Chain A
Amino acid sequence: MSVQQPIKIAILAMGGEGGGVLADWIVDLGEHQGWHAQTTSVPGVAQRTGATIYYVELLPPAPQPTTRQPVLALMPMPGDVDVVLCSELMEAGRAVQRGLVTPQRTTLITSTHRVYAIAEKAAMGDGRVNDEVLVQHAREAAQKLVSFDMARTAEESGSVISAVLFGALCGVGALPFSRADFEATIERGGVGVKPSLKAFGRGCQAALGQDAPAAEPAATVPTPAPQTAAVAALLQRVEREHRPACQHVVREGVRRLIDYQDTAYAALYLDRLAALVRQAGADEDTLVRETARHLALWMSYEDTIRVADLKTRDSRFQRVQGEVRAKADQQLHINEFMHPRIEEVCETLPAALGRWLARPHALHRLVARFTREGRVIRTSSLRGFALLWLLSRWRVARRSTLRYVQENQRIEHWVQRVQALAASHPALALEVARLQRLVKGYGDTHARGLRNYQTLLGVLDRHGATLAPAQLARLRDAALADEHGKALQAALQQQALHA
């Protein structure tokens, strides 16, 4: 009986990522060296972005002449795979989960970039899984792990991930073929040879460890260099009024609010925080930091003025240019999808006028009719730009707008709640501060968030300090669990808080 064993290779990829091309390359590579090669897969509908496995077996020519053909398997067996290639990090996790990666023998080659699964993308807050856990498990499970961001490598070489993976397979030395053999395979393929070879080379080098990415340089915080006295005074206040552990966040808050309105507004922000610091214990850094963060976000609520301001900036035009990869000899037009409803119109007007227009009368109906439908505004045209630019100038009157009055009331109320609890029950105060996370978005989304926020404040009112901070945190998570508020209702009932 022959003791020969094939080399077993599993490729885990998502449909449309070129896993099939990679498998074909490996087969062609083997066959060209006189090896037996077999590959198979289950394409079907999996090609439409679903996860799928391609399986390859390579057997060297028989040492003695034989009349029998090798009998190769059609699917990988857990514990019996030599090389696993993954086009994405979660797929590497899946390979480990399926037992295809074993410390005794498996070389795991994976890209570390993420293609988020639908559950991660659709979460109302942050539904991403922990990449660290995936990497950790991959490292523990594999005999040898080669991992780097192959999507970036592919992008930089103008090619696709399969070419990078093929290069890494060459570089890691798991197959007894030379680099020239690998490259000849790509050349025989005849499609996009040049970029594929470039990506292959980068992948190969990375696997060899010659191109090991240097550790991310620690982000150095540049020393603030204020240009004006007013800004300098604000920064001095930050240093004076806050412990070093909190200064960074507070400074970012100040930066945000100057950018949002003016230095006076940033001063109001510092006043509000100062009041909290006075109440809180000396070492309540987390409470102060989180409140500082959420207060800055709330005070820079997204009104029409803010949106118009952000949309018309030169930095934004440049960002779009880069993002859509428009080249210098191409022209770029930017069209915004706006949907100002009568609510937004009223909110942008001075408070009294806004309140009046919000009441049902002929003018209200007329404005409502004109704002029923969304509009596409071309910011890159003179008319569109002028419209948004003028709206952004309305910043000078922001403090008089209806929206400002409303938001200011809510902010004051919320800040006072946090302050009131800061001394007696800092853990609960922290959770109250974090409730701001519920209030986000625009239009219906904003209304829904605000409703949930108010529901939870109501719970706080009724139960006061008898409410455990963890309970409030659970309710907040429940409010972010689904759009229809079912999870929140269930959580309220479960905790018997709907009194």
Chain B
Amino acid sequence: MAERSFVEEVKKLRLGAGEVFSGEGILAVTKALLESGVAYVAGYQGAPISHLMDVLADAQDILTDHGIRFENSASEATAAATLAASVNYPLRGAVTFKATVGTNVASDALANLASGGVLGGALIIVGEDYGEGSSIMQERSHAFAMKSQMWLLDPRPNLPCIVQAVKDGFDLSEASSTPVMLQLRIRACHVHGQFVASDNRKSAFTLQQALAEPQRDVNRIVLPPASFLHEKEKVEQRWPAAVRFIQERQLNEFFAEDADDVGVVVQGGTYNTLIRALNHLGLADVYGESQLPLYVMNVAYPLVDAEFERFCQGKRAILVLEEGQPNFVEQNVADILRRLGSTTTLHGKDLLPLAGEYNTATLLKGLTAFLQQYGKLAPEPKARKMIPLVAAPAATSAELAANVHARPPGFCTGCPERPIFTAMKLVERELGPHHVTADIGCHLFSILPPFNIGATTMGYGLGAASAAAFNVPGGRRAISVMGDGGFWHNGLTSGIANAVFNRSDNLTIVVDNSYTSATGGQDILSSKALNATRSTGHAIEQAVRGVGVRWVRTLKRTYDLKAMTATLREALTTKEKGPKVLVAQSECMLNKQRREKPQVRKAVAAGQRVVRERFGVDPDTCTGDHSCIRLSGCPSLTIKPNPDPLRTDPVAAVQDSCVGCGLCGEVSHAAVLCPSFYRAEIVTNPTRGDRLRQRVRQAVIGWLQRRDAQRRAQLAF
């Protein structure tokens, strides 16, 4: 069950010609796929393209209507290999994943695909997670396009352009027999806008037809001598074909081409930011009307020499705006200009930062330097009156900085992963610190306070693999953490099977919360949910035993801190040789709440007896040490001013958002913290028996309490 339901959005996928689609960028891409007549779609979820996958998952009926095969691929490599269907048949296919992590995983399949080339249009939609708010290492997909010679589209970030890019991408792919990558930056994926829809198209050729009459062409297979020919074909046929197509279809755009003797070259994805920067300089209006010549490359790779020749005609200088490094585009432009013997001066990273996101302020600075150099702006430009960039005085900003803390994402309220790390902290107290390798997933939040657990993260599913070297006699065992998502993505083989084969002695904890939670709660093989279109319920323990692990423990309730610490202790101290695997199971609380809340509401409305549990802290026994918070970090476990007139340290407090997961109580028991925690059970619609018992209790307890209260009242003042 995905985090969001897209029932409303799915309706938009049925819009016909002339109707206006209004919504997010990535959903527009989904509609564009249907309008392009795809025969199959595959992918692996991850920000920012998860919604594409989730919408398609909710749109099974539309997909069936159009005869489209939709796969939730096991990994990005699987997704990329799925495009093999377009090698021998005129079938259009699209795959999607997060870049550059997904591109990395997929690169073997992509390279093979690009080598042999395609017959049907093959589109790789990558969500480029670069810049502020990114959760991955900062690299670009551009290098993958270059090395495998696939074409890379980077359209202007508005819905009509994005939709057009999808359609152009298929055409370009077919025209040049080459797979095409469509790069969408994270904000473009989530941008809200509108476009005029076209009718959806069914694929003229079907998957059934392909299976009925299988085709093969040994020249398309990556095997010598064909593979040597592929390389030649790429540069002699496919590349020129692509360049021709790009020019004929005018995929790249020229604005105000002859307005001045200097100009700016920009990739489509950065266009809006450039216009805003020019707007601040008084050189463009909000409709993109520019006084400076612009060459907008909606195709980021390959570059079109002739178009550069055209743009540089009569220009003293051009500025290439290229985010990230290395500066592939700028180098390429330098090469083009040199070969042309052009006298146009080239600027780029000499005026702009080598690394980091190009936001408006950065572009503004670079543009200003460029325009000043060519006398287009006065050294102290008057135009800058519009942007009062006042630097705060250092003293006040230091004072503010001391009072504004970073607020990184963390485990949700009641998250079942938190007790695993609490247990690790507790075991660490007994056995000393262990080397811990982390993975990708929600559990990676354990590297942050309050847990501070984990030393490296090498990639999705590579938690166990990254402890491989730490296998020496007499050493303290290394601990690896891996999510169920990473486990099925590749961790079973790269981590577990590898550990078996290499006779590892380490411990791997597999966090099994029934979903790939970090990417939005999609189902996977080990999901407990019954999914109408996927096969679930495949136990991780069975898979682990299947590859030869002997020491496997499955804990069905991560909140059981006692069992968790005991199992960890055993895993770290047992004499038994070989890899140890601990499967820690409890359902993702975010998904569980989403599932159960409506049911509870219904039961309450129907008059059934419902018990809600939540925790609380007695402020008069809490002494304000906050050990509980350091061992939990739950968002609903917080602090509040001490009501005691004699104390100053804030006391712990539980907010009403508490879901009663039980960890607070377990922690206070296991760590012998304090007696301040209580668990309240609130019974809605109590039965007659409940009410009777309550009356008896109240009579006795109430009587005693009143007596005590009277005594205290007498001594009060």
Contacts and interface: CB of A to CB of B under 8 A. Distances in A.
A252 to B, nearest CB: 5
Nearest to A118: B449
A310 B644 CA distance: 13
Contacts, number: 363
B679 A376 contact: yes
A71 B271 contact: yes
A71 B287 contact: yes
A324 B620 contact: no
Nearest to B3: A47
B404 A90 contact: yes
Contacts of A209: none
Contacts of B696: 382
Interface stretch (A120-128, A177-185, A424-432): A120-128
A313 interface: yes
Contacts of A224: 717
Given A331-B694, A440-B625, A45 B677 contact: no
A441 B625 contact: yes
A483 B680 contact: no
B672 A443 contact: yes
Contacts of A442: 623, 672-675
Interface stretch (A34-42, A271-279, A403-411): A34-42
Contact of A78 (B158, B361, B645): B361
Interface string A118-153: 111111111011100110010010000000000000
Contacts of A255: 716-717
A40 B288 contact: no
A283 interface: no
Contacts of B324: none
A302 B621 contact: yes
Contacts of A330: 682-684, 686
A40 B23 CA distance: 11
A21 to B, nearest CB: 13
B285 interface: yes
B650 A227 contact: no
Contacts of A440: 623-625
Contact of A323 (B273, B360, B616): B616
Interface residues of B, number: 125
A46 B392 contact: no
Interface string A53-75: 00000010010001011111111
A351 B648 CA distance: 32
B646 A116 contact: no
B450 interface: yes
Given A48-B442, A441-B625, A324 B645 contact: no
A14 interface: yes
A224 B48 CA distance: 64
B672 A80 contact: no
A494 B142 CA distance: 52
A49 interface: yes
Nearest to A48: B409
A310 B618 CA distance: 9
Contacts of B157: 74
B380 interface: no
Contacts of A239: none
A352 interface: no
A363 to B, nearest CB: 22
A94 B638 CA distance: 21
B212 interface: no
Given A133-B400, A333-B681, A42 B360 contact: no
Among A45, A49, A72: residue with most chain B CB under 10 A: A45
A311 B620 CA distance: 9
B479 to A, nearest CB: 20
A6 interface: yes
A130 B668 contact: no
Interface string B399-421: 11111111111111000000000
Contacts of B647: 297
Among B48, B135, B285: residue with most chain A CB under 10 A: B285
A140 B397 CA distance: 12
Given A129-B403, A129-B405, A68 B646 contact: no
A316 B618 CA distance: 8
Contacts of B562: 373
A130 B562 CA distance: 39
30 contacts: A1-B285, A1-B291, A68-B287, A70-B286, A73-B360, A75-B360, A77-B364, A117-B407, A118-B405, A118-B450, A124-B626, A128-B639, A129-B404, A133-B400, A133-B402, A252-B645, A312-B705, A313-B709, A314-B705, A324-B680, A325-B656, A331-B690, A333-B681, A374-B672, A382-B700, A389-B704, A442-B674, A443-B672, A444-B672, A483-B630
